[in-house]
Chains A and B, each alone.
Chain A
């Protein structure tokens, strides 16, 4: 304990010197943790310490911490690996090898991309937690409350990086106006270079297809723009069906969603079958539009974030050999059909809204 500095968050940025990498580590400052019972906290001071070093490689930079730190950085408890936007756009491939090679790093650490510099994120304020890493980790663990953030571990990221067709993605983290750390949107990579972003709405479009959207709120817009209804997603299942017909590649995505009526700010009475069914249709429409929006963005970037290429590989292994190296020329012209079957199951503790008509 006394010879180690527990790293909770790792930030990687481009250094000012060309070709070098700047590493920021957030460690727990154990000298500031008051032993229990000694009375009184440390005031506003959070027991964290950010250290910054540059080096030619990640490993070189890590060892430079010991120029000043008497304690060795200790990684098994690190929670998040954040790449600065600039370095992400140049390619993270060079700076990810250390994390797959070093036995101290665990593969379930989350990978993120910072809006701006990663070191600025580490200086931000993690709401309700002491360290940025723990905060990000817990937010990503509970991603399904909104399903608009995609949790990507180092293991997921490496798997996508190794795939010839599937493009890596990572959640975007930023410091907002209140200096709080917040997650919003998804960074899309082509090979190891970041090429664009998905909005939170498009992120959920991606999650529907990846079979990961297991929660979240869908807001339905009724014809009258002031009337809105929120559906809480309980579960969803997605099936990807690839098809090759007349030398044309087609993908059908079948999504089955279950939800509950969570809130309505309209006086309309949904306690009859007909209007209840209309909710199902509206929900399905929203899901379809989210998936299509994500798909459109992906085709613009020409980045197969959904893993449709792998789906073709599984179904047509023989044809795939011809397509595989040429996938970049196929993906932008891929036809997508989205079929959504939505079932709203419960209406909470209310049958009708109390709102006067």
Chain B
């Protein structure tokens, strides 16, 4: 039984990860409670995120060619394992819905206020569904195109915002109560970095000879992605200063301030396209994780019949999840960072510990037999 025939290359995985980290983070900028120390919160959150990624990739290397669902089966047994896997699938579905909602709200809010939300969500979901049907190889190849474009765009934006930036906006350093700081940095860790748990559905399809490099590659990529993200945080914090606290979409607000000799101005429409690509990739990965996982639990021969039904669930959840934008903000900063702890760190850590204590997987031949 082979649900996914595709293989992803090293560069495919790297760009996919970078895009995933940028994803919705770039538009909503979580962790703004840290005010002018936001960049410190991001460094702390990234460090926490690296610990997460270390655990995920250790699992992935311990169980080569296995997805999260198969790993759960091996560690917790067929029944408990399936239950845990099912909760992960629900989490991935919700994650996809949340990403869709973030982008839907953003596009409706800043670009087309008169268009109903469902239009954005439905069409993004359809685009995602088409990518998921094509498989992980295609998704990864997309990221090789979108990733560099997004990185170049973000660097250009930073350069063009240089005249507007004031370094005094992020001083003094470290002037923040510890409690607020930990909360902000954990929010940062949970929003882009902890969400990379979805990559446990992707690591299994790395080219066979590259399996041993997964950990090194992932950690390096996350560091690289974090640096790009940090540049964006610096740029936004230095440009907006105190007004970052009252804006819904700080990056967008900052980009609107670009004005170079009255020629390069009103560029936000171009930058939005880069955001759109990032959002598309992020939602596709978690959508793919949910679909593939469901197919593995149900032992289907192909995951294709599940794509559209799960898509319907995602679209409906996305619309019903929040009644208004304020609920979304409260959810992101006050509920989600704690709600996601079991999925992002609790269960993966437990799995790793059990695997180490029970010395799983027992033998390479043994694990192959279990695969049937």
> Interface of A with B (CB < 8 Å)?
100, 103, 106-108, 141, 155, 158-159, 162-163, 310, 313-315, 317, 320
Contacts and interface: CB of A to CB of B under 8 A. Distances in A.
Contacts of A162: 242-243, 245-246
B259 A108 contact: yes
Contacts of B259: 108
B168, B175, B243, B253 — which one has the most chain A CB atoms within 10 A of its CB? B243
Contact of B172 (A141, A158, A313): A313
B80 interface: no
Closest 9 pairs between A and B when the two form their complex, measured CB to CB: A317-B175, A162-B242, A317-B172, A314-B171, A314-B172, A158-B243, A159-B241, A103-B110, A159-B243
A83 B242 CA distance: 23
B238 to A, nearest CB: 12
A107 B242 contact: no
B168, B172, B175, B253 — which one has the most chain A CB atoms within 10 A of its CB? B172
Nearest to B170: A314
Nearest to A163: B242
A106 B256 contact: yes
Given A107-B256, A107-B257, A310-B168, A155 B175 contact: no
25 contacts: A100-B243, A100-B247, A103-B109, A103-B113, A106-B256, A107-B253, A108-B256, A108-B257, A108-B259, A141-B262, A158-B243, A159-B240, A159-B243, A162-B242, A162-B245, A162-B246, A163-B242, A310-B168, A313-B175, A314-B168, A314-B171, A314-B172, A315-B172, A317-B174, A320-B175
B76 to A, nearest CB: 49
A107 B243 CA distance: 11
Contacts of A158: 243, 246
A220 B245 CA distance: 46
A106 B109 CA distance: 14
A100 B244 CA distance: 12
Interface string B252-285: 0100110100100000000000000000000000
Contacts of B168: 310, 314
Interface string B107-144: 00110010000000000000000000000000000000
A181 B242 CA distance: 33
Contact of A159 (B109, B172, B242, B262): B242
A107 B245 CA distance: 15
A141 B257 CA distance: 15
Prevailing SS type, chain B contact patch? helix
B281 to A, nearest CB: 26
Contacts of A320: 175
A162 B241 CA distance: 10
A320 B171 CA distance: 13
Contacts of B241: 159
Nearest to A76: B266
A155 B168 CA distance: 16
Contacts of A317: 172, 174-175
Given A108-B259, A158-B246, A159-B240, 14 more contacts: A100-B246, A103-B110, A103-B113, A107-B253, A107-B256, A107-B257, A108-B257, A141-B262, A155-B240, A159-B242, A162-B242, A162-B246, A313-B172, A315-B172
A310 B240 CA distance: 15
B172 A155 contact: no
A106 B257 CA distance: 8
A3 B175 CA distance: 51
A100 B245 CA distance: 12
Contacts of B171: 314
A100 to B, nearest CB: 7
B253 to A, nearest CB: 7
B33 to A, nearest CB: 15
Nearest to A307: B168
Contacts of B109: 103
A244 to B, nearest CB: 14
Contacts of A310: 168
A11 to B, nearest CB: 23
Contacts of A313: 172, 175
Nearest to B268: A106
A141 B109 CA distance: 30
A158 B239 CA distance: 13
A155 B113 contact: no
Contacts of B175: 313, 317, 320
B245 A155 contact: no
A29 B175 CA distance: 52
A332 B238 CA distance: 30
Nearest to B239: A155
A314 B169 CA distance: 9
Nearest to A310: B168
B242 A155 contact: no
A305 to B, nearest CB: 16
Interface in B211-268: 240-243, 245-247, 253, 256-257, 259, 262
Nearest to B176: A317
A104 B257 CA distance: 13
Nearest to A162: B242
A108 B265 CA distance: 11
Contacts of A155: 240, 243, 257
A159 B253 CA distance: 13
Nearest to B169: A159
A103 B107 CA distance: 11
A321 B339 CA distance: 34
Nearest to B110: A103
A100 B253 CA distance: 10
A313 B172 CA distance: 7
A141 B259 CA distance: 12
Contacts of A314: 168, 171-172
Contacts of B110: 103
Contacts of B253: 107
A313 B110 CA distance: 35
B38 to A, nearest CB: 15
A144 to B, nearest CB: 14
Contacts of B240: 155, 159
Contacts of B262: 141
Nearest to B171: A314
A164 to B, nearest CB: 9
Interface string B154-178: 0000000000000010011011000
